[in-house]
């Protein structure tokens, strides 16, 4: 994996912005490996993602931030610079359904996902077998015994102890409390087993079957206090027919779930997602 700095910018659209950033990079001998721009005409916001080779640029990470800050202030930027060599720490939360959990673990194990997974948290002890196979510490949080409030306090403590950067709900069938949604805003990704905004909430495949849809899907999105209404990162769909039962939809929908979640997690890890209001700009 090429060592890069990733420059992410969200600011008011204005004349001279791209030229100013380009001149700054040129002045410091920066080689741009990937450049993505987008203007939201409705809100007048400009979004940028540049991937910059560290082999060429004559600035360290700290010196880049120091040198770029005056330009960022001039253009009223909300911005960040990340170092691709620094792996984010990802916690996986799951319930009885294991397909999304195992898929993420496999992609991490094979190097497709550039991150560390220091812990898996489950509300069923059966998931420990997968954690053991991948040699990841497993924590069983018993919601039935503890109750939801105490259980989520325990999860919150674990996330803090492991210094987690991103929490992935890999079919974790529990609703996060409001305070945790706000505390971890933009840092919790969920996979919902429907093509949102259709069929939010419980049993979406059964809802889809009863409605007689011809497409089913899955939605990877950020978690907010509003159930299944957070900014969407990625979606996947599959065609079905009148002959498919609700169980057939569940089986076929799992393909959509693993693909949408894996792509969404990778986009986040690679700083390809910028949240804008309740939408996202995704430089895939």
Note the pLDDT of residue 244. Answer: 92
* Architecture of domain 88-282 in this structure: 3-Layer(aba) Sandwich (3.40)
Rounded alpha-carbon distances, angstroms, from residue 32 to 9, 24, 198, 274, 283: 15, 12, 40, 19, 15
Average pLDDT of the residues of the chain: 96
**Same topology for domains 4-83 and 88-282, yes or no?**
no
Q: Per-residue pLDDT tens for 15-65?
A: 999 999 999 999 999 999 999 999 999 999 999 999 999 999 999 999 999
Residue 3 clears pLDDT 80, i.e. is over it: yes
Residue 1 clears pLDDT 80, i.e. is over it: no
Residue 220 clears pLDDT 90, i.e. is over it: yes
Q: Per-residue pLDDT tens for 155-210?
A: 999 999 999 999 999 999 999 999 999 999 999 999 998 988 888 888 888 988 99
Note the pLDDT of residue 198. Answer: 86
Question: Helix (H, G, I), strand (E, B), or coil: what is residue 132?
Answer: helix
Please tell me the least confidently modeled range out of 119-128, 132-141, 237-246. 237-246
Q: Look up the pTM and report it.
A: 0.95
Note the pLDDT of residue 128. Answer: 97
Distance, CA of 31 to CA of 28 (rounded, Å): 9
Neighbours of 69 (CB within 10 A): 12
Neighbours of 58 (CB within 10 A): 10
The β-bridge relationship of strands 215-222 and 232-239 is antiparallel
Mean pLDDT calculated for residue range 241-269: 95
What are the sequence ranges of the domains in the chain? Answer: 4-83, 88-282
Q: Which of 192, 159, 154, 188 is nearest to 173 (CA)?
A: 192
- Burial class of residue 201 (count of CB atoms within 10 Å of its CB; 0-12, 13-18, 19+): exposed
Please tell me the least confidently modeled range out of 141-155, 156-170, 208-222, 256-270. 208-222
Note the pLDDT of residue 202. Answer: 83
Note the pLDDT of residue 41. Answer: 95
Helix H or strand E segment including 140: strand 138-140
Annotated active-site residue 255? The verdict is no
Q: Per-residue pLDDT tens for 57-116?
A: 999 999 999 999 999 999 999 999 999 999 999 999 999 999 999 999 999 999 999 999
Active-site choice (10, 228, 244, 271): 228
Note the pLDDT of residue 134. Answer: 98
Distance, CA of 280 to CA of 234 (rounded, Å): 10
Distance, CA of 224 to CA of 88 (rounded, Å): 21
Domain 4-83 indexed as CATH 3.30.70.260: yes
């Amino acid at each position: 994996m090429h060592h890069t700095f990733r420059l992410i910018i969200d600011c008011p659209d204005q004349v001279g912005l791209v030229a100013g950033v380009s001149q700054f990079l040129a002045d410091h001998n920066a080689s741009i490996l990937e450049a993505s721009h987008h203007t939201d005409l409705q809100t007048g916001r400009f979004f940028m993602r540049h991937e910059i080779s560290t082999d060429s640029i004559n600035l360290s990470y700290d010196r880049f931030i120091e040198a770029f800050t005056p330009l960022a202030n001039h253009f009223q930027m909300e911005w960040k610079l990340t170092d691709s060599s620094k792996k984010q720490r990802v916690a996986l939360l799951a319930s009885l359904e294991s397909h999304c959990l195992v898929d993420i673990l496999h992609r991490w194990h094979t190097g497709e996902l550039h991150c560390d997974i220091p812990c898996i948290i489950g509300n069923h002890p059966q998931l420990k077998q997968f954690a053991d196979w991948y040699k990841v510490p497993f924590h069983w949080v018993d919601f039935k015994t503890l109750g939801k409030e105490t259980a989520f306090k325990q999860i919150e403590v674990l996330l803090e102890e492991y210094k987690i950067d991103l929490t992935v709900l890999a079919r974790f069938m529990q609703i996060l409390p409001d305070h945790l949604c706000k505390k971890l805003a933009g840092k919790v990704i969920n996979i919902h087993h429907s093509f949102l905004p259709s069929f939010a909430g419980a049993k979406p495949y059964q809802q889809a079957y009863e409605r007689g849809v011809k497409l089913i899907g899955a939605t990877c999105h950020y978690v907010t206090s509003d159930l299944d209404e957070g900014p969407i990162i990625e979606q996947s769909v599959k065609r079905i027919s009148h002959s498919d039962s609700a169980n057939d939809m569940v089986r076929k929908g799992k393909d959509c779930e693993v693909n949408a979640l894996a792509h969404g997690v990778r986009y986040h890890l690679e700083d390809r997602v910028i949240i804008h209001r309740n939408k996202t700009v995704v430089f895939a």
